[in-house]
Amino acid sequence: MIPLSVLNDGEQGIIKKIGGRPDVKRHLADIGFTIGDTVSVITEQNGNIIVKVKETRIAVSKEMAMKIFV
């Protein structure tokens, strides 16, 4: 397992684990990050990582991306 933030543009992975406090896990689940789903890195922009999950593009901070393991 590696953090989502390590993936390069165009790479994808399957979410294996979501770390962090319970409120962080809940927030990530609310915006579409659930274990078993595929996530693709689109690009990195202004310190945020733009990803595609569940056919939706979402920007997450590098700090949040370090809590999502693929």
Q: Which amino acid is at 63?
A: E
**Where does residue 57 fall: left (phi above 0), alpha (psi -120 to 50 degrees), or beta otherwise?**
beta
Average pLDDT value over all residues in the chain: 94
Judge whether residue 51 has pLDDT over 90: yes
Q: What is the pTM of this model?
A: 0.89
DSSP annotation of 5: G
Q: Which long-range contacts (CB under 8 A, 24 or more apart) does 44-53 make?
A: 44/9, 49/4, 49/5, 51/4
Average pLDDT value for residue range 54-59: 93
Residues 6+ apart with CB under 8 A from 27: none
Average pLDDT value for residue range 30-48: 93
- The CATH number assigned to the domain holding 60 equals 2.30.30.90
pLDDT band at 52 (very low <50, low <70, confident <90, very high): very high
Q: Which domain holds residue 22?
A: 4-69
Q: How many domains does the chain have?
A: 1
pLDDT of residue 23: 94
pLDDT of residue 47: 87
